[in-house]
Structure 1
Amino acid sequence: MMLDVQALEGCKVLDVSTFLAGPFCATQLGEFGADVIKVELPKVGDANRRFGTMTECGDSLPWLSESRNKRCITLDLRKPEGAALLKRLVAQSDVMVENFQPGTLERWGLGYDVLSAVNPRLILVRISGYGQTGPYKDRPGFGRIGNAFGGLSFLAGYPDRAPVTPGSATIPDYMAGIYGALGTLLAMQAREKTGRGQVVDIGLYEPIFRILDELAPAFAFNGYVRQRMGPGTVNVVPHSHYPTQDGRWIAIACTNDKIFARLAEAMGRPELAGQDAWGTLAARERDRPKVDETVAAWTATLPRAELLKLCEAGQVPCGPVYSVDEIFEDPQYAARGNILRIEDPRVGPLAIPNLVPKLTETPGQVKWTGAPLGAHNDEIYGERLGLSKAEMERLREDGVI
């Protein structure tokens, strides 16, 4: 039974970050009930408004999708009056998210020492290229650099070619945003015990390095430097993408000997899983190219739909290698509601990724898509901070808001 509340209802968040990693952190909090105020530079706005496919309303599809549920205000933090207004908002907030280069807030007189003096319960999420400490802390960073420095790009592609983009250059931004949201929840839980806020400090490369399974312990243990393996996977085989008769691709994952035996049965060649053939992982690793070649030769004789049926019937983990148009046609995506269709007041019908995770009693929701620049200035400055219309007009003329 769903409750008429949201998990983070009552939590107030200031999002002063730009582009993607910090904003995505705040977006996730807003999806589950937090009241998120998005702070942008007057007349300029977040760069994400102009990134990707543009719409007739003047904002991009990434902005409309990833700035959902945020109330948008303009404020120049570099101006003394702007910094003063931010402090007033901080005094009423639980969390602030930023992703400037380290030292930027401090130069504006808005370091954590200042903000925590205003509000000792404030949690400050700081996402930057390399984190707030270390010899590289002052270097700029973007997602592509996070992929490269974190160790993922080196593993993407084929061994005889240059490293490729591992799916998307923005993976570190999204991963850092996820870890930022996790860090926020942990800090909120700690605050219940201590009564004090703290800093959540994340470098873009760190979530990438964290998810690379045994890459680090294997190197420390025996000096193994993993190389690019194309679509293959270290430690197990067959575990790759294979061509199909109809010009598509299927993913097959045999992570142990039992699963490979099931695949051999599905192929009509049970002898492949014999002890004198490829019945053990060690034997398959020894003959890795031949194993993949044999599986690929089989998959190439059948259409993908038939291969999926055969593998599923034999309990062999498999899946289609989807392009986005196929995702939109898939019944599993439809049943789970993974694609949210929403009416945007400025551009009309939109399809955007739905919320993750699903909560059975206090689910999140998308209340609105990314709002126009400064759309909520009057609401926040007038109603929340109590500024008069005359004061707001002067601040607009002075470029503060």
Structure 2
Amino acid sequence: MKALEGLKVVGLVTAGAGPMLLRTLAIHGAQVVVIETTKRPNVTRLSGPYKDGKPGPDRSYSFAISLNGGYSLLLDLKHPKAEVVKKRLIEWADVIVENWRPGVVERLGMGYEEVKKIKPDIIMLSISHMGRGGPYSHMPGWGITLSALSGLMFLTGWPDRSPVNLGGLGILPDYISPRFGVIAIMAAIEYKRQTGKGQYIDLSQYECCLQFQIPALLEYTCNKRIPMRMGNKSEIACPHNVYKCRGEDNWCAISINSDEEWEKFAKIMEKPWLAKKFKTFKERKKHEDEIDAIIEEWTRNFDPFELMHILQKHGIAAGVVRDIKSALSCPQLTHRSYWKKLTHPVLGTAIYQGPSYILSETPYELQRPPCLGEHTEFVCTQLLGFSDEEFVKLLQEGVFQ
């Protein structure tokens, strides 16, 4: 038995956050139906990279990594004959998840006020950039917009340069908000178990991102100082940087967090005079660039993995800077079966990621992503109770597109 077995979920989602939330529910046993349409496909289905470089709704690896499992139902919610399908979906569902801009699902007749008239105890979650209500609630944008508005981008980069969108900052909101959304859904399910009542969950991706600003918030609250960009430096550790190693584009991150660690590190480098010359944190910060240059002259003699293991053996925080090819072969991730290979009818065999946690009694099951509209007939006839004749009639009338 899986943790969420028996839970029935309808998703009216696009982009990354919505599918990723549904993915978590699906791999733990929830029965998930994703409403899609050929008239306005999920943004992630239209995003590369594509299988063999050829675009197509079932050829996108971006979509494949976002939604594992679930049933894809083609349904034109604007079609006048779609009301009967819509009503049965609402009656069938325990939870509805949507992540369109505020106002979109209301215009489609799938807003919470309309939905609860059909099923009063429904739980509905809306994910939006800014949440419902307020001066910015209808603001369009992408993850990069939220990384900027939340201040994450302000802290990212070098002190003498402008803020930058490094690495995954642009998609960070899409990866973080589903975690909060799942927690909120679990809380609502427990409330419903106790009271029999459903509820509406209004999730702001903006507010999710602000969680990562807490250190800066505390500094400003306590000392009225606005933290600035620091590159790889740290206000609590020194040295604290990424250092060049032997070979092409090989690096190792090293962080010294106490005077005792610094003395130990100097001995490992066979430069005990460093610990005497720059004995305190304050002295090290004052001469940080000089110290970094000395350290990198030493680290260039080592393979990054060799260096990481030497330092970790002595209790020094160190980590290889991995590229994705290296991460795919990481022995720690292999041990925990984090990477999975699944076969898809269009994508073929590809690598997918599991969740970052393991439930001992109810393990997850990763399934391949659905093709666009793949389960339309199954959902209608097996889950929603339409007869074959009713399904064919609706199909001929153009409801399922």
CA distance in 1, matches of 2:43, 2:172: 18
- 1:1-400 pair list within 5 angstroms: 5-42=1-38, 44-55=40-51, 58-168=58-168, 169-247=170-248, 248-274=250-276, 277-367=277-367, 369-400=368-399
State whether residues 42 and 400 of structure 1, in contact with CA within 8 Å, keep that contact through their aligned partners in structure 2: no
CA distance in 2, matches of 1:102, 1:236: 43
Which deviates more from structure 2 when the two are superposed, residues 64-73 or residues 280-289? 280-289
CA distance in 2, matches of 1:315, 1:97: 45
Percent same amino acid at aligned positions?
30
CA distance in 1, matches of 2:20, 2:285: 40
Deviation at 1:303, TM superposition (A): 2.6
CA distance in 2, matches of 1:83, 1:264: 72
Which deviates more from structure 2 when the two are superposed, residues 90-99 or residues 258-267? 258-267
Deviation at 1:105, TM superposition (A): 1.9
State whether residues 42 and 399 of structure 1, in contact with CA within 8 Å, keep that contact through their aligned partners in structure 2: no
Deviation at 1:143, TM superposition (A): 0.8
Which deviates more from structure 2 when the two are superposed, residues 88-97 or residues 7-16? 88-97
Query: Secondary structure of the equivalent of 2:218?
Result: helix
> Cα deviation per residue 1:209-257 (whole Å; 9 max; x = unaligned)?
1123411121122221121112223332222211113231101122333
CA distance in 2, matches of 1:304, 1:85: 58
TM-score (norm: length of structure 1):
0.91
CA distance in 2, matches of 1:322, 1:219: 34
Deviation at 1:9, TM superposition (A): 0.8
CA distance in 2, matches of 1:179, 1:170: 15
The alpha-carbon distance between structure 1 residues 347 and 306, as it changes in their structure 2 partners (threshold 3 A), is: closer
Structure 2 gap ranges (5+) = none
Deviation at 1:11, TM superposition (A): 0.8
State whether residues 59 and 347 of structure 2, in contact with CA within 8 Å, keep that contact through their aligned partners in structure 1: no
Paired amino acid for 2:264: R
Aligned length: 394
CA distance in 2, matches of 1:193, 1:262: 56
CA distance in 1, matches of 2:274, 2:83: 69
CA distance in 2, matches of 1:233, 1:331: 29
Which deviates more from structure 2 when the two are superposed, residues 230-239 or residues 164-173? 230-239
Indicate the RMSD between aligned Cα atoms, in angstroms.
2.1
Query: Secondary structure of the equivalent of 2:333?
Result: helix
Structure 1 gap ranges (5+) = none
State whether residues 98 and 127 of structure 2, in contact with CA within 8 Å, keep that contact through their aligned partners in structure 1: yes
Deviation at 1:201, TM superposition (A): 1.9
CA distance in 2, matches of 1:76, 1:45: 11
Paired amino acid for 1:262: K
CA distance in 1, matches of 2:266, 2:90: 62
CA distance in 1, matches of 2:241, 2:228: 16
Deviation at 1:80, TM superposition (A): 4.2
State whether residues 13 and 100 of structure 2, in contact with CA within 8 Å, keep that contact through their aligned partners in structure 1: yes
The alpha-carbon distance between structure 1 residues 190 and 255, as it changes in their structure 2 partners (threshold 3 A), is: farther
Query: Secondary structure of the equivalent of 1:146?
Result: helix
The alpha-carbon distance between structure 1 residues 305 and 393, as it changes in their structure 2 partners (threshold 3 A), is: same
CA distance in 2, matches of 1:352, 1:272: 46
State whether residues 232 and 241 of structure 1, in contact with CA within 8 Å, keep that contact through their aligned partners in structure 2: no
CA distance in 2, matches of 1:278, 1:193: 61
The alpha-carbon distance between structure 1 residues 186 and 267, as it changes in their structure 2 partners (threshold 3 A), is: farther
CA distance in 2, matches of 1:283, 1:198: 56
The alpha-carbon distance between structure 1 residues 396 and 43, as it changes in their structure 2 partners (threshold 3 A), is: farther
The alpha-carbon distance between structure 1 residues 189 and 232, as it changes in their structure 2 partners (threshold 3 A), is: farther
- Structure 1 residue ranges, 4+ long, deviating more than 6 angstroms after superposition: none
Query: Secondary structure of the equivalent of 1:153?
Result: coil
State whether residues 20 and 178 of structure 2, in contact with CA within 8 Å, keep that contact through their aligned partners in structure 1: yes
Query: Secondary structure of the equivalent of 2:154?
Result: helix
Query: Secondary structure of the equivalent of 1:91?
Result: helix
Deviation at 1:336, TM superposition (A): 1.7
> Cα deviation per residue 1:293-345 (whole Å; 9 max; x = unaligned)?
33333222333233123202211111110001111232222212121112223
CA distance in 2, matches of 1:171, 1:34: 25
CA distance in 1, matches of 2:285, 2:194: 51
State whether residues 141 and 204 of structure 1, in contact with CA within 8 Å, keep that contact through their aligned partners in structure 2: no
CA distance in 1, matches of 2:19, 2:29: 15
Deviation at 1:49, TM superposition (A): 1.4
CA distance in 1, matches of 2:193, 2:278: 56
The alpha-carbon distance between structure 1 residues 133 and 280, as it changes in their structure 2 partners (threshold 3 A), is: farther
State whether residues 234 and 240 of structure 2, in contact with CA within 8 Å, keep that contact through their aligned partners in structure 1: yes
The alpha-carbon distance between structure 1 residues 111 and 305, as it changes in their structure 2 partners (threshold 3 A), is: closer
Deviation at 1:372, TM superposition (A): 1.5
The alpha-carbon distance between structure 1 residues 199 and 273, as it changes in their structure 2 partners (threshold 3 A), is: farther
CA distance in 1, matches of 2:73, 2:385: 15
